[in-house]
Each structure stands twice: as C-alpha cells, then as structure tokens.
Amino acid sequence: MNDAPAIGFADPLNRIAVGASDSYSRTVTDADVVLFAEVSGDDNPVHLDEPWAAATRFGGRIAHGMLSASYISTVIGTRLPGPGSIYMGQQLRFKAPVRIGDAVTATVTVREVDAEKRRLTLDTICTVGETVVIEGEALVMLPKP
C-alpha cells in the first residue's frame, strides 16, 4: 500500500510560513451591490438609493462594507490558506467607503502560525488603489491532510 498523500491532499502547513501573502481583486458593480442587498437583507438606502445617498456625508451610493470584506473570505477559502480552511474569527475596521466601479483588492498575510493547533493569524486588508478601505485580523483553522 502506498503511504504517499493523494495529490491535492498535501498538508497546507508544509507550504505556509509567516509572511506568506495572497490577494484577490474585483471591481464592484451595481449588480453586486443590489444582489448583496438581496442576499443579506441590508437594504440601507445609502447602498441603493442615489438621491437619498447623495444627501449623506458620502455624497452618493456606497457599497456595503461587508461586500468588500467578503473578498477577504475569498482569499482565505480559495488561495491562502485555501480550500478546507475554517474561518474562526475576523476583526474589521472600515476606513473609507467603496463606490460602484471601484476595484477592491483584498490581501491576506500570515502573521503567526500555530502548528500545534493548526491555526493561522492573518493580517487582512482591502484597498482601492492606494487607499486602505478595510483593515483587520483573521483567525483561521487549517484542514487536516
């Protein structure tokens, strides 16, 4: 019997080190905002009603903060650490609004590896150009091989 791990089932701990980083970028569309409102139930007019939003401090519609934050989940679940990862916690600080048409880049960087517990502490950040729109920290559990 062959004891080698099956392809695709190598232990992710063997390829993750402090400082490892990956990103995901997406341009926010009107459809994204409308669909996120439907899925989440958050129909705040600052996201959906241009005349209403124009009278706010933002001067127009903005995307849901959690829509941009969901791009962090995309990185964690598909890239770093990748499939099978379990999100255990996330702290977020919303720093600036995201508008329809903005290209948001979510970046995850490994700050700490706890090999015994199979957990990673990740620095998380979302940017639009050079502007930080979200920053925070995530705790993730790695799958067993």
pLDDT (tens digit, 9 = 90+) per residue, 28-86? 999 999 999 999 999 999 999 999 999 999 999 999 999 999 999 999 999 999 999 99
Structure-token match 């290209």, residue found: 103
Q: Quick one: pLDDT at residue 144?
A: 86
Closest alpha carbon to 13 in 124, 89, 112: 112
Q: Which sequence spans correspond to the domains of the chain?
A: 18-141
For residue 9, give every residue at least 6 positions away whose Cβ sits within 8 Å of its Cβ, in sequence order, or none: 145
For residue 15, name the pLDDT band (cuts at 50, 70, 90). confident
Closest alpha carbon to 125 in 81, 76, 78, 77: 76
Integer Cα distance of 12 and 21 in angstroms: 14
* Domain 18-141: CATH superfamily, name plus number: Hotdog Thioesterase (3.10.129.10)
Task: Tell how strand 131-141 and strand 119-128 pair up.
Answer: antiparallel
For residue 6, name the pLDDT band (cuts at 50, 70, 90). very low
Q: Which amino acid is at 7?
A: I
**DSSP calls for 61-124:** ----HHHHHHHHHHHHHHTSS-TT-EEEEEEEEE-S---TT-EEEEEEEEEEEETTTTEEEEEE
